[in-house]
Amino acid sequence: MFVSRRSFLKWPAVMWALTRLFPVHASEQVTSQVTDATLGAWFDTLIPADETPSATQLGVDRMMLAVERRDPDYRIVLDFGRKWLDKQARAQGAADFAALDATDRGAIAARAAAAGDSPEYYFFLSTRDEAFAFYYQQPESWPGLGYGGPPQPLGYMDYMRKPTNTVDG
Amino acid sequence: MAEMSHDVIIIGSGAGGGAAAWALSRRNIRVLVLEAGPAFDPLQDYRLQQNDWELTGFPEKPGSKGRHSYAPLQKLEERWQGLRSWSRNQGITVEGDRRAVAGYEHVRGVGGSTLHFTGEAHRLHPAAMKMYSCFGVAADWPFDYDELEPYYCEAERVIGVAGPAVDAVRRRSEPYPLPPHAQGYASRRLGEGCRKLGLNWVANPLAALSESYDGRPSCNYCSGCTSGCPRLDKGSVDVTFIRKALATGNCTVQSSCAVTRIEPGPDDRVTAVHYLDSQGSAHKISARAVVTACGAVETPRLLLLSENNHAPDGLANESGQVGRHFMETVSWTSNGLHPESLGSHRGLPADSICWDYNAPDAIPGVTGGCRFTPSAAESGLLGPVRYAQRVVPGWGRAHKAAMRKTFGHVLSVGAIGESLPNPGSFIDLDPAATDAAGLSLARIHSRLTDTELRRMEFMAGTARDILRAAGAGDIFEEYGSYDRFSSTHVFGTCRMGDDSDSSVVDGWCRSHRWRNLFIVDASVFPSSGGGESPSLTIEALAIRAADHLAQMMDRREL
């Protein structure tokens, strides 16, 4: 019930639009320094550092690029995202997305999130869910959540009691 | 010439096959169990100790998912718009105007789908076994609850079921082997909501050990049952019936062996079983009796594939009923947020239950019952990954802050209801899709009638009412089986009955015609029950059928 990379790729209309607008050739290398910086800035926009590390500090960008290398279809998605993000940045006079400050990057993310039925919206949804998956499986992301780690081997023998170390809303 | 080194061949090692293997082997009957899927090693294969446990769920191994196909599903209608699946983060989650396929959720492996079940160990409501005579729908079981009751007790003892002392509806001749589990902190919130609505919220009978039992440790309430229990306290068939069957020395289990057909012979007997082993080598074996227990999708497929000149319409299909009367999982889930931190990722997945609408006539204006349980675990909302993706909207610093305020706050109510048979729901052989051996896949035809959808509407409304009454009216996600076929429990495709013209097997689960052929899975259910999980009933039926088979062998009738 969430937009995974796989479910993203099941939307034929989206894939058709992406491949028509942003064809990727098999020989094309898409993991240059510049494009990596764009994606790194994107993931740190989705998951910035605060009390816990940012996405790139936990290697989310490297994990996504590893997926991209294994999965040619996902490469289309990420390559679309890189180009779209940099295009938005250049329209604001910046060299690329990574050159923007956090406020401007956030404004672009907000546009993607509100874009409705469009490639940038599905790029946002897909990378958001993938980034969260990579980020929140790492122990460095857990402080403050009230989550102590995998369910086993300790289980939750306190399951009958009010939880401790949590923040009530 | 087929080799014959066993008395009985059992096809499938899930609830029915495992229970039958135990019931036969304890009587010194030599049993061979052929399982199409792999064996799982709970300590090696299950991942609840790993940081990425949320992403892996129940592990997949080669061959652990059967393949099947779907006929086009029904169009969605404006009048049932309130039953569409949706989430706050995504809006409507099923695109288009036609019902989608989420899937037949099952495990093919030693232990079958009990490997990933939540452990619910339910007895059927007695009235749900008389749906035709009392309500004019489905079909009656050829015996009543009291006939099955001693076998329920046996199954509960083998498993180590923990349940409440009192059950006003389902007569018990002896108490559960173990006391019930205490209700969790989050479940008690739902119980408070139920009480405000005048509903009862009681301990759910579970195949999870509340005390150490039979050499297995008690549960430590990790809530991860659906990902596979590495402690062995969950009473899945591999660690209960199969383990005990193997201990007799009379049972052999061969995993990764896919049966391709059962051979009908002269004299109304099946004469051989053909299967492919893990290397793809073909084998033909014989026994005095054959028991199929492949579930309500694969059992009719196997019978239909087993046609020959002795059974031109498929094995045991003299009535034309094989594959008919398919019943599925009619379900609804509502997920909301409670303002208090509840730690709802802890505990047993479904430690409590509301049976108030379980009787066939309990829902006003709709025939067929339903039940309600906590459902955060079955919704997969037990760890931070899914919270980040599904529960907390947005991104950035605000998302991280909201994660810290939200984790453990989900309250979830799931409902499962009766599924009545209709002519549009059945299993047949797909003429266009085949497996690796070139055999036609089972094709699922599913249609939900207005009766099912009105029942689902009641289930959805009541689930929302319970959440609101429990203080979790901030509902962020709902999904059900109206707009996406999603079934864990399937029934009915080899109906049991007294009349050979309208059923496939008799009251002992034996084919009306084929004297040494038995079926012991939920395909024989004449009705589904009002949302009860079926594994315990399958096990009770299988033990009863196996006892009968053993008596026939003693009398040399097989």
Is A92 among the domain residues?
yes
pLDDT, mean over chain A = 83
B492 to chain A, minimum CA–CA distance in Å?
A: 29
Cross-strand partners of B100: B484
The H or E element that residue B402 is part of is helix B396-406
Which residue range is the domain that position A33 belongs to? 5-145
Q: Do B50 and A150 form a contact (C-beta atoms < 8 A)?
A: yes
Report the distance separating Cα B165 and Cα B188, nearest Å.
Answer: 19
Q: Is the pLDDT of residue A2 over 80?
A: no
* The pLDDT value given to residue A9: 40
Q: Count CA atoms closer than 13 A to A61's CA, side-chain side.
A: 21
Q: Where are the domains of chain B?
A: 8-45+62-554
* The pLDDT value given to residue A36: 83
Q: Which residue has the higher pLDDT, A25 or B462?
A: B462
CB contact residues (below 8 A), chain A span 91-120, against chain B: 106, 109, 113
Is A167 among the domain residues?
no
User: Quick one: pLDDT band at residue B3, thresholds 50, 70, 90?
Assistant: low
Is A125 among the domain residues?
yes
* The pLDDT value given to residue A164: 85
B184 to chain A, minimum CA–CA distance in Å?
A: 4
Q: Do B38 and B61 form a contact (C-beta atoms < 8 A)?
A: yes
A2 and B223 in contact by Cβ < 8 A?
Answer: no
**DSSP SS3 for B236:** coil
3-state secondary structure B431-476: EEEECCCCCEEEEEECCCCHHHHHHHHHHHHHHHHHHHHCCCCEEE
Nearest to B404 among A138, A145, A154 (CB): A145
User: Quick one: pLDDT band at residue A116, thresholds 50, 70, 90?
Assistant: confident
- Share of residues in chain B with pLDDT > 70 (%): 99
Q: Do A152 and B48 form a contact (C-beta atoms < 8 A)?
A: yes
Cross-strand partners of B262: B273
Cross-strand partners of B479: B333
Output the CA angle B477-B478-B480, nearest 5 degrees: 155
Tokens of B101: 């396929």
A38 to chain B, minimum CA–CA distance in Å?
A: 16
Is A33 among the domain residues?
yes
User: Quick one: pLDDT band at residue A10, thresholds 50, 70, 90?
Assistant: very low
Q: Do B322 and B316 form a contact (C-beta atoms < 8 A)?
A: yes
Is A153 among the domain residues?
no
CB contact residues (below 8 A), chain A span 17-46, against chain B: 45-46
Cβ-Cβ contacts under 8 Å for A102 (sequence gap 6 or more)? A45, A48
Question: pLDDT, tens digit, for every residue of B37-82?
Answer: 999 999 999 999 999 999 989 999 999 999 999 999 999 999 999 9
Report the distance separating Cα A137 and Cα A130, nearest Å.
Answer: 11
The H-assigned helical ranges of chain A are 5-9, 12-21, 33-46, 60-70, 72-91, 102-113, 119-135
Cα dihedral sign for B279, B280, B284, B287? positive
Cα dihedral sign for B293, B151, B133, B530? negative
* The pLDDT value given to residue A165: 61
Length of chain A: 169
**DSSP SS3 for A81:** helix
Q: Do B39 and B110 form a contact (C-beta atoms < 8 A)?
A: yes
Is A37 among the domain residues?
yes
Average pLDDT over residues B304-315: 98
* The pLDDT value given to residue A30: 41
* The pLDDT value given to residue B352: 98
Which of these, B476, B368, B383, lies nearest to B132 by C-alpha position? Answer: B368
Residue A153, preceding peptide bond in cis (omega within 30° of 0) = yes
Cα distances from A15 to residues A23, B18, B84, B364, B367, in angstroms, run 11, 46, 25, 47, 45
pLDDT, mean over chain B = 97
* The pLDDT value given to residue A13: 46
Nearest to B385 among A48, A50, A132 (CB): A132
Average pLDDT over residues B170-186: 97
Nearest CA in chain B to A42: B396
Report the distance separating Cα B299 and Cα B100, nearest Å.
Answer: 24
List the CATH code of the domain at B8-45+62-554. Answer: 3.50.50.60
* The pLDDT value given to residue B212: 98
Q: Is the pLDDT of residue A18 over 80?
A: no
How is B191-223 classified by DSSP, letter by letter?
A: HHHHHHTT---EEPPBSB-SS-BTTBPPP---S
Cα distances from B445 to residues B146, B297, B328, B418, B424, in angstroms, run 34, 11, 10, 18, 7
A16 to chain B, minimum CA–CA distance in Å?
A: 17
Average pLDDT over residues B414-435: 98
A155 and B219 in contact by Cβ < 8 A?
Answer: yes
- Share of residues in chain A with pLDDT > 70 (%): 76
Q: Is the pLDDT of residue B437 over 80?
A: yes
Q: Cβ of B74: how many Cβ atoms within 10 Å? A: 15
Is A124 among the domain residues?
yes
User: Quick one: pLDDT band at residue A117, thresholds 50, 70, 90?
Assistant: confident
- pTM for the complete prediction? 0.94
Helix axes of A119-135 and A60-70: crossing angle, nearest 10 degrees:
120
Is A164 among the domain residues?
no
Highest mean pLDDT among A5-14, A113-122, B458-467: B458-467
Which of these, B414, B413, B412, B418, lies nearest to B330 by C-alpha position? Answer: B418
Nearest to A157 among B50, B221, B396 (CB): B221
Q: Do B357 and A166 form a contact (C-beta atoms < 8 A)?
A: no
Indicate the burial class of A27 (C-beta count within 10 angstroms; 0-12, 13-18, 19 or more).
Answer: exposed
Nearest to A163 among B339, B343, B382 (CB): B343
Q: How many domains does chain A have?
A: 1
